[in-house]
Amino acid sequence: MIKKLLSVSFMIAILFLGSCKKNKDDGPTEWVKGSDFEGSPRSAAASFIIDGKAYISGGFNGDKRLNDLWMYDPKLTNWFKIGDTGFPGDARNYAVGFSVGGKGYVGTGTDGTNSFKDFYQFTPETKQWKKIADFPGDARYGAVAFSGSGKGYVGSGTSINGDLKDFYSYNPATDSWTQITSLPGSKRAYAFTFTIGDLTYIGSGSNNGANLPDLWSYNTANDVWTKKNDIYRDDKNESNKKYQYDLRRRSATTFTIGQRAFLTGGITSGVTGTTWAYDPSTDYWDQHQDFGGVSREAAVGFGIGDKGYVTIGKNGSHFDDLWIFTPNK
């Protein structure tokens, strides 16, 4: 009798384990912990990449806005504080950053009361900042920024007048801004953006608090926006599960590895840690392993070489941990 009970229990255990299919990748661990960010824990910092190194500026630590500048070197797997004075503008969070021609640029943002439109250029060789022409649109925060065709681009976000969708390009050669074609979709703040090859993609974010389902690509060479598949799909009649996902979120984090972009974190109905990969050749998303640390919003993400990196952010408290992502498929 005891043998029969053991046999039945064993079979039930096998059946149970066999039925536990994860809704994400089951391969080798994709997320591993790296060297903690050495500044104070924070969220909503600006960032840019120069020569394979990531720079993080400012943010909010739960007590005050910050203006320090830090650099992460993935070859040395360590963080370094840059300069004694840091970013020369007012301390702020929800600013944006981009890099062009070996220099970094940081601007816009908020101090919790005021929104900003000032911009500054950083030269890594001298560790010096220089003020450049002010951003010409409304002062704003929660915008997106990217670079391409030798210029920097800034747009969307929110201001005293509400959410926005206007975009501008910055030409370092002339220190001037030019308004370009606005994002065709809804006005939005806290959208996500990533660049693959010659195209930059902008998706989701929120409009008056509602997370948006659309994704757009932008070609900096000809100022053309193109609608892509929505990131919210529930085509239950399709046998292919790739047609069923909901990636709507705000304050999410992205990074690019090769010809794919990865999206993690942000706010859906709550703070999420799900991670997804976008393949521009199919215009679909594939789920990967959930973020390795505590789920968070307003983190910083960057891709260098064959790895992605996510650090800082908030979920109740603010974080200073760094997580390194290596896709296993």
Q: Domain range for residue 288?
A: 31-325
Question: How confident is the model over 276-296, as pLDDT tens digits?
Answer: 999 999 999 999 999 999 999
Residue 86 lies in a domain: yes
Give the per-residue pLDDT at 97. 99
On whether the CB atoms of residues 165 and 225 are closer than 8 A, the answer is: no
The reported pLDDT for the residue numbered 329 is 87
Q: What percent of the chain has pLDDT over 70?
A: 89
Residue 7 belongs to some domain of the structure: no
Position 25 in a domain: no
Strand (E) or helix (H) holding 58? strand 53-60
At 13, the pLDDT band (50, 70, 90 cuts) reads very low
Q: Measured over all CA atoms, what is the biggest interatomic distance in the chain, rounded to whole angstroms?
A: 87
Q: Is residue 258 part of a domain?
A: yes
pLDDT of amino acid 25: 61
Evaluate if residue 169 carries a pLDDT over 70.
yes
Asked if residue 23 is part of any domain, the answer here is no
**Measured in Å, how far apart are the chain's first and last C-alpha atoms?**
47
Please tell me the predicted confidence (pLDDT) of residue 6.
37
Confidence at residue 186, expressed as pLDDT on a 0 to 100 scale = 98
Between residues 233 and 116, which one has the greater pLDDT? Answer: 116
Whether the CB-CB separation of 110 and 116 falls below 8 Å is answered with yes
**CATH number, position 252:** 2.120.10.80
Task: Answer yes or no: is pLDDT of 3 > 50.
Answer: no
Q: Would you say 322 and 309 are in contact if contact means Cβ atoms under 8 Å apart?
A: yes
pLDDT of 15 over the 80 cut: no
For the cut 60, the answer to whether the pLDDT of residue 11 exceeds it is no
Location of structure tokens 């951003």: 135
pLDDT in tens, 53-62: 999 999 999 9
pLDDT given at position 21: 32
Cβ(305)–Cβ(52) below 8 Å: yes
pTM attached to this predicted model? 0.91
**How high is the pLDDT of residue 27?**
76
Is the pLDDT higher at 20 or at 91?
91
Which of these, 152, 226, 273, lies nearest to 144 by C-alpha position? 152
Q: Once rounded to an integer, what is the mean pLDDT over residues 49-68?
A: 99
Predicted pLDDT of residue 85? 83
Number of domains, the chain:
1
